[in-house]
Structure formats: structure tokens, C-alpha cells
Amino acid sequence: MAPSGEPTELSASSISDDILSRMPRASGRYMAAIGFFGAVVAWALFAWGYQIQNGFGNTGLRRPVYWGFYIVNFVFWIGISHAGTLISAILRLTGAGWRKPVTRAAEAITVFCLMIGGLFPLIHIGRVWYFYWMIPYPNERLLWPNFRSPLFWDLTAILTYLTGSLIYLYLPLIPDLAEIAGRSSGKKQRIYRALSLGWTGSDRQWQALERAMKLMAMAILAIAVSVHSVVAYDFSMSIAPTWHSTIFAPYFVVGAIFSGIAALVLVMAALRKLMGLEEYLREEHFVNLGKLLMLMSLLWLYFTFSEHLTTWYGNLPYEMQVFNLREQGFFGIVFWTMVACNFAIPFVLLGVSRLRSIATISISGATVLIGMWLERFLIVVPTLSRPALPAAWGNYAPSWIELSITAGTFAAMALLYLLFVKAFPIIAIWEYDETIPAR
């Protein structure tokens, strides 16, 4: 055993044994966690079923606020999805060596968040069995969807992004699936062998895999930026107060990367603690992500200030009604809590080097996620509750249905991750050639 802090040489088989041994067993605690999160998801599905059976009148969505928690959660989860493909793709293309234990955890976040966020347009349309009306396909009546509808944009963007993200997650899994198949027997071996697509590790296969991953990394960067730009267009293409802005697309992309990094930090902290991955997810990885989080916090402050400055300087009466309601009125506490979570707390914890640690970086990630959800809420609800005509003003309060479905999405994220780390190694085995840090 090498002295503490020095690397120790391990063979490839030893690295495989070590990583595969960290995959959770079906212990009592694991099954209890599965049962708890599964119960929350089941309750959310019951609430959705109740809404379908009894109608939208049982929710808090009514004139003038027809977009509430559902669209807030939609934007929030689609934003977090940028944690994987975008961050992983950038690090892979730039050849950042420290990314090795981080990429798969990030790529899994992307897929799960898209699966969850993509449900909200279906939940929000009410009559979910008519969802195919949003799909452009030839039909006997020669009817086509409204190409100016944000629902059509969102469906196209999310399906494209989800397809690309699944491929981008699957490609680096292939060598590890073959590794697991070689160490298994029976039905498990047959399943993993089929998933590994006949991988043998030949030079030709490695070269093809490397080319495919680089091509997907370049493609996914463009897709990720375009997807959240499309989500921003849902707002900025309207003439609602404070929404009709040319800055919304880059503003939403910056916010998406910001929340995605925060989610990745929290997931890494949980994996490190619960699966004993201290040797792989080291402090340097958290520090590097903490620096990225600090940078995105400053960018978020710049865009937020620019958005509010132009509204304040323009001084249009119908926009100032929303501005005052959000910054000083009923939503004032929410607004300044958002500023504290997204800038003040991360700026102190990450900006002072002596305070920067795994714990403080994780705390910053948690506060950023809270702040970014509040930001999505403040974009949606105040504007809709104060339309241009004062006679149409109204308020919004979520019902138990919306609260249940919201809680169910967070439980679904945890449940999907628990199932994923049980079936697949969360650390890419093949990316480790010769050494890992000493225990």
C-alpha cells in the first residue's frame, strides 16, 4: 500500500473489480429507499389520474394563470438536463483528464431529467390521449399541427434531445457492458452481452467508438443549446409583460448550464457518500465544478441584471406592474431569496478559497437548485397574474394535485438513479488505464 496521498498501481482487472464492487446490493436500506421513492411516484401518478378523471378545474390553474407549477417544473427539469450532455461533451472534446469519473453521472442526469421534464407538456394539455395531435404526420384528413404552437416546438426539441442523449449515454457504456457480461453467467450474462453489441475490444471497435463519441459530443452541444433556446422562445415569442425579450434565449441557456452543474455536484456528493467513491470522486473534481459554478453564478447575475435593467429603464406601465410585484410586492421575498441562493451564498462559499470544500460546494449546489426553481416560478407566475389589462388580473395557488406531481418528479429522479447505479457502473471502467488513487 502506497503512503497516503500517493497513487498506487493497479491492474485493469483490479480497477474493474473495485468499481463493480461498489454497485449497490439489494440490501434492506436499498429496498427501503426504492419503496419510499416508488410510493411518492405512485402518489403522483394517482394525482395525475385524478386530474385526468375530474378535470383541470381541480387544480390551481385558472384565468389568468394557465401556466403554473407544471410549466415551472418543465423549464426547471429541461434546464437541469444540460448537466450531462453539455458538460460532458465540452470536457470530452477539450480532453479534460479530470472528467473521467464525472461524465457518466452527468450523462445519466440528462436522460432522466428529459424523461421527467418531457412529461409536463402531456400533463399540462389535460386530455393526454390527444397528444399525437402535436406530431406532424400525414393523415387522411390532410390536417397538420399548428407550426407556430410552442407545444409543437417543445415536442420536436425534447424528442431530438432525448434521442441524442440516450445514444450519448449508451455509447460509452458498451465496453463496460461487455466487461460485466464476461463476469456474469446465465440470464444476466445474456442480457449484458446483447446490450454490449458483440464488443470484443478490438482496435477497429475502439477507433469506431471514439469517432462515434466525438461526433455525438459535437452534435449534442448544438442540440442542447437549441433545445433550451426553444424553451425560451415559448416565452419571448409572446407579448406578455417582461417576456417579449431578445435576451431570453441566452439567458435560459446560461440558467440551464448553471442549474445543471449544481445538480451534478449534488449527485456526485450523494454517490461519493453512499457508494464509497471517495477514491474516484475526489476533492479536485468538486473544486473544478465549484469554479464552473462560480463562473455561471456571475453570468446569471449579469443576465438577470440586464433583464431587469431594461424593464426598469423602459418604464412601461404594464411591465412595471409585473416588475414591482416581483421585486417589491407579493413575490418580493421569493425574488430576494432567489438572489441569495443563486449569487450571494455561492459567491461567499465558492469565492473565498479557505471556505471552498466538498461540503460548501455541495451546499452551494443545493442553494442554486432552490434558487433556479424559484427563478422559473418568478418568470411564469407574476407575469401571468398581471396581464396588460388590470380587469384581467388574478392570483395563483397550487392545489394538492400540482404539489403531489411536483414531489413525484423529484422522487422519480432519485428512483431512476437508484435503479441505474444498480444495473450499470456509475464510473466508466474503460476510461481508467493503469492507476487509481490509493485507499
Determine, yes or no, domain membership for 421: yes
For 263, residues 6+ apart whose C-beta sits below 8 A from its C-beta are 80, 83, 109, 113, 365, 369
The one-letter amino acid at 70: Y
Residue 147 covered by a domain: no
What long-range pairs does 326-329 form, CB within 8 A, spacing at least 24?
Answer: 326/378, 326/382
> In the predicted model, is pLDDT for residue 182 greater than 80?
yes
d(CA 409, CA 407): 5
Residues shown for the chain: 439
Higher pLDDT pick, 109 / 146: 109
**Domain-located, residue 5:** no
- Separation CA 109–CA 266 (nearest Å): 11
Q: Mean per-residue pLDDT for 290-306?
A: 93
Q: Which three cell numbers stand for residue 179?
A: 466487461
Q: Give the pLDDT of residue 8.
A: 44
Structural domains in the chain (count): 1
Q: Distance between CA atoms of 6 and 18, rounded to whole angstroms?
A: 18
Question: How many CB atoms within 10 Å of residue 177?
Answer: 21
Distance CA 430, CA 422 (A): 18
pLDDT band at 439 (very low <50, low <70, confident <90, very high): very low
94 pLDDT exceeds 80? Answer: no
Residue 104 pLDDT greater than 90, yes or no: no
CA distances from 36 to 116, 275, 324, 412 (A): 18, 19, 42, 11
The arithmetic mean of pLDDT across residues 415-419, rounded, is 94
In a domain, 133, yes or no: no
Classify residue 12: in a domain, yes or no. Answer: no
Q: Mean pLDDT in the chain?
A: 86
Containing domain of residue 175, as a range?
29-128+165-429
Residue 121 covered by a domain: yes
Spatial distance between the Cα atoms of 127 and 123, rounded to a whole number of angstroms:
8
pTM, two decimals, is 0.89
In a domain, 411, yes or no: yes
Question: Considering only CA atoms, which of 171, 293, 159 is closest in space to residue 226?
Answer: 159
Element (H, E) at 210: helix 203-236
Residue whose cell numbers read 461567499: 348
Q: Which three cell numbers stand for residue 351?
A: 469565492
Cell output for 209: 467508438
Question: C-alpha grid cell for residue 350?
Answer: 465558492
> Is residue 270 one of the residues assigned to a domain?
yes
3 vs 289: which has the higher pLDDT: 289
